[in-house]
């Protein structure tokens, strides 16, 4: 049986969602974040990077969310329900699979790191400096960049219900983590299409089953 090495509050939640949508049986090996919010060292026994998700299937060990989702679609989506077949949509599909972690998520991670500079565990004596640094970076770079990406996605979702047309695909599952992070910590207002997309995700029975399996999912704000 396929095994998911699942870290709480992590990207592995979208792998559970994908498996629930596909109806593929799986088992979970659970890991809890350390106080530092990093993954435990025990994950390195599964994959050298010590990150989640990691999937074991048919003797294969797979890492990286996008690669895992592509593998699951190619292996188990026999009716091609979660990958579009029309040429333009296939290109859009590929774009969102790479955009999620290649362009959007680095900005949101940077914002999370910057906003933590004024808080524990940063030593008390330099928190004020850290806070000022974070404010400067946000004003000079992050705020404008994140808003630009948010407006881009908002415009795309004004055209159709899901990221590639009007049918859920693995592109939506890949985009779920950065979109939830964007709405939680991005600091961008007036995103009705993004919020409507998030609501559609949360209403899906497969998403709800994945939450039951993986545990509560609420990304920290910035």
Q: What is the pLDDT of residues 136-186, one digit of tens each?
A: 666 656 888 999 999 999 999 999 999 999 999 999 999 999 999 999 877
Q: By C-alpha distance, which of 216, 206, 207, 185 is closest to 8? A: 216
What pLDDT score does 35 carry? 74
Distance CA 186, CA 104 (A): 11
Top CATH class of 87-204 equals: mainly alpha
Over the stretch 97-107, which tens digit does the pLDDT of each residue have? 999 999 999 99
Q: Determine contact, residues 31/136, Cβ cutoff 8 Å.
A: no
Distance CA 77, CA 48 (A): 29
Q: Which CATH number fits domain 3-82+210-214: 3.40.50.300, 3.30.2030.30, 3.40.30.10, 1.10.220.150?
A: 3.40.30.10
Q: Number of H helices and number of E strands within the chain?
A: 9, 4
What pLDDT score does 222 carry? 46
- 134 vs 23, more confident: 23
Annotated domain spans of the chain: 3-82+210-214, 87-204
Q: Quickly count: other Cβ atoms within 10 Å of residue 136's Cβ.
A: 12
My answer on whether omega of the bond before 123 falls inside 30° of 0, hence cis, is no
Over the stretch 13-41, which tens digit does the pLDDT of each residue have? 999 999 999 999 999 999 888 776 677 78
What pLDDT score does 118 carry? 57
Query: Model pTM?
Result: 0.90
Over the stretch 180-198, which tens digit does the pLDDT of each residue have? 999 987 788 899 999 999 9
């Amino acid at each position: 049986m396929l095994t998911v090495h699942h870290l709480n509050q992590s990207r592995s939640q979208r792998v559970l969602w994908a498996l629930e949508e596909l109806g593929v049986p799986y088992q979970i090996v659970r890991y809890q974040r350390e106080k530092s919010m990093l993954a435990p060292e025990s994950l390195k026994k599964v994959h050298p990077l010590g990150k989640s998700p990691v999937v074991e299937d048919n003797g294969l060990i797979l890492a990286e969310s996008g690669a895992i989702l592509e593998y699951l679609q190619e292996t188990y989506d026999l009716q091609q329900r979660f990958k579009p077949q029309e040429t333009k949509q296939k290109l859009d599909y590929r774009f969102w699979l790479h955009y999620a972690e290649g362009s959007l998520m680095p900005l949101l991670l940077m914002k999370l790191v910057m906003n933590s500079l004024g808080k524990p565990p940063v030593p008390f004596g330099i928190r004020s400096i850290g806070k000022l640094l974070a404010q400067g970076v946000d004003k000079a770079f992050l705020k404008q960049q994140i808003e630009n990406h948010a407006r881009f996605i908002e415009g795309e979702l004004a055209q159709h219900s899901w990221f590639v047309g009007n049918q859920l695909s693995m592109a939506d599952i890949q985009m779920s983590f950065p979109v939830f992070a964007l709405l939680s910590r991005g600091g961008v207002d007036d995103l009705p299409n993004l919020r409507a997309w998030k609501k559609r995700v949360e209403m899906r029975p497969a998403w709800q089953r994945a939450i039951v399996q993986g545990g509560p999912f609420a990304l920290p704000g910035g």
